Chains A and B, each alone.
Chain A
Amino acid sequence: GAVVSQHPSWVICKSGTSVKIECRSLDFQATTMFWYRQFPKQSLMLMATSNEGSKATYEQGVEKDKFLINHASLTLSTLTVTSAHPEDSSFYICSAQNPRLASILQETQYFGPGTRLLVL
């Protein structure tokens, strides 16, 4: 299967600082990456869809100026949480997909291992 990595896996920061999370597709080119947020014991909530070379599409209720997404290459997307506050503490997960791939890879999203953010 396709492999997606995230860095860092764990981050603690002070309130008011910005945090950048990287999502990389290691063995395939991801034309689209998705960013999710997951609170404890809850399901995944889609925050935004990121297409390579285009502006991200944000879900309703997600502040695009607070959660900056950049998808500058086919293997890397970044999520920057700007001026982080304790309520931004959560588990952030990215996934990657390339619908132009052959076979079963094309319709499947492959997930990174997630990044746990704690804002003090």
Chain B
Amino acid sequence: AQTVTQSQPEMSVQEAETVTLSCTYDTSESDYYLFWYKQPPSRQMILVIRQEAYKQQNATENRFSVNFQKAAKSFSLKISDSQLGDAAMYFCAYRVNTGTASKLTFGTGTRLQVTL
């Protein structure tokens, strides 16, 4: 069974600084997707960034980037120039690529605080 582990229940970062959230996963599949979702206090799940396992290049979306290490099964999220609006729960998620819709497996989440 696939599992996703986020070992940092809480993280804190100062505004304008950089923070990295950790995520590891366990799978025997070779073709899959990895995601980071953000859940602010409104509880709306917002897609932050996605990575396709067969792509070696790390995904980047503006201030958000990932460090994808397939052999180590690691998928960390780096937030640069942190803003107050980045404060939220961040969930790492995994989905095997079956060619059809398949379920997401979520980690337990990391709560990110952004301080002035």
Contact = CB atoms under 8 A, between A and B. Distances in A.
B90 to A, nearest CB: 11
Given A43-B106, A104-B50, A111 B44 contact: yes
Contacts of A99: 99-101
Interface stretch (A15-23, A72-80, A81-89, A90-98): A90-98
Interface string A96-111: 0111000010011111
A43 B101 contact: no
A1 B50 CA distance: 13
Contacts of A104: 50
A107 B44 contact: no
A49 interface: yes
B104 A113 contact: no
Contacts of A25: none
Binding site secondary structure of chain B = loop
A51 B45 CA distance: 21
Contacts of A91: 43
B113 to A, nearest CB: 14
Nearest to B105: A46
A44 B101 CA distance: 18
Interface in B20-45: 33, 35, 37, 42-45
Given A99-B100, A107-B52, 13 more contacts: A42-B108, A43-B106, A43-B107, A44-B91, A46-B104, A49-B101, A49-B103, A93-B45, A108-B35, A108-B50, A111-B44, A114-B43, A114-B44
Interface of B: 33, 35, 37, 42-47, 50, 52, 91, 95, 97, 99-101, 103-104, 106-109
14 contacts: A32-B101, A34-B101, A42-B109, A43-B107, A44-B45, A44-B106, A104-B50, A107-B33, A107-B50, A107-B95, A107-B97, A110-B47, A111-B46, A113-B43
Interface of A: 1, 31-32, 34, 38, 42-44, 46, 49, 51, 91, 93, 95, 97-99, 104, 107-111, 113-114
